[in-house]
Amino acid sequence: MPSVAKVYTRTGDNGTTGLLFGGRARKDSAQIEANGAIDEAQAAIGVARAEATRASELDGILVQVERDLWVLMAEVATAPANRHKLVSGSSLVTAEMVDSLERLIDDVSERFEVPKEFVVPGQARLPALLDQARTVVRRAERLVVAAPPADDSLAARYLNRLSDLMWTLARWQEGEHLLARDAGKRQPPARRTGS
């Protein structure tokens, strides 16, 4: 019978986790907190993608973004002494990856009227999930800024553009926007009936 790799290794039982290309870090270190937030962002984007039509343009965009986040996680999970082992576009974020997001934002923004005010999320499930993913990406960005992989790293810049893309995709999928300050259309709280 073929051997099956075990999911658990027990190597992290001491509160540390392995880094790419060797070395270990505490699981509560700033580096691993940042990596964990990127992992959460990828999962949140996956939840939004699960609501998208398979093989649609949106599905393709989100799959590419999820793949890019593996690159970010590789870079963030590498010890400074091993950064020279990173490969551009495979384990190291590149300027082209950031530029690609900017082109996508510009392209999608031309398909709808961009709201001039803050928007109330929740017009429909898919855009609400994209908004939720955006907030997780923003948290990941804050944590990467607090513990940058290196001075010349583009990881935080990529996450900044990715949160903008998530906002843009949410508005595109939303269609009609509910503005945060919609004068004259404030709805009173629902009346309670009974107790």
Q: Please state the three-class secondary structure of the chain as a single string.
A: CCCCCCCCCCCCCCCEEECECCCEEECCCHHHHHHHHHHHHHHHHHHHHHHCCCCCHHHHHHHHHHHHHHHHHHHHCECHHHHHHCCECCCECCHHHHHHHHHHHHHHHCCCCCCCCCECCCCCHHHHHHHHHHHHHHHHHHHHHHCCCCCCCCHHHHHHHHHHHHHHHHHHHHCCCCECCCCCCCCCCCCCCCC
State the total domains in the chain. 1
pLDDT band at 16; cut points 50, 70, 90: very high
Res 176: pLDDT: 86
Q: Which residues pair with 24 in a beta bridge?
A: 18
The answer to whether residue 89 sits within a structural domain is yes
- Give the CA distances from residue 189 to residues 181, 186, 192, 194, in Å, rounded to whole numbers and listed in that order: 16, 9, 9, 15
pLDDT at residue 190 tops 80: no
Provide the domain limits for residue 100. Answer: 16-109+117-174
Distance (Å, rounded) from C-alpha 83 to C-alpha 116? 42
pLDDT at residue 139 tops 90: yes
Length of the chain: 195
Residue 175: which of 110, 109, 104, 123 has the closest Cα?
123
The answer to whether residue 148 sits within a structural domain is yes
The answer to whether residue 169 sits within a structural domain is yes
Res 184: pLDDT: 53
Res 142: pLDDT: 98
Report the chain's mean pLDDT, rounded to a whole number: 93
User: How many CA atoms are closer than 13 Å to the CA of 37, on its beta-carbon side?
Assistant: 25
pLDDT at residue 182 tops 80: no
The answer to whether residue 155 sits within a structural domain is yes
Q: Which domain CATH number covers 165?
A: 1.20.1200.10
The answer to whether residue 8 sits within a structural domain is no
The answer to whether residue 135 sits within a structural domain is yes
Res 164: pLDDT: 98
pLDDT digit string (tens) for 18-74? 999 999 999 999 999 999 999 999 999 999 999 999 999 999 999 999 999 999 999
pLDDT band at 4; cut points 50, 70, 90: low
The answer to whether residue 150 sits within a structural domain is yes
Res 7: pLDDT: 86
pLDDT at residue 189 tops 90: no
The answer to whether residue 184 sits within a structural domain is no
Res 5: pLDDT: 73
pLDDT band at 9; cut points 50, 70, 90: confident
Q: What's the distance, Cα to Cα, between the start and end of the chain in Å?
A: 63
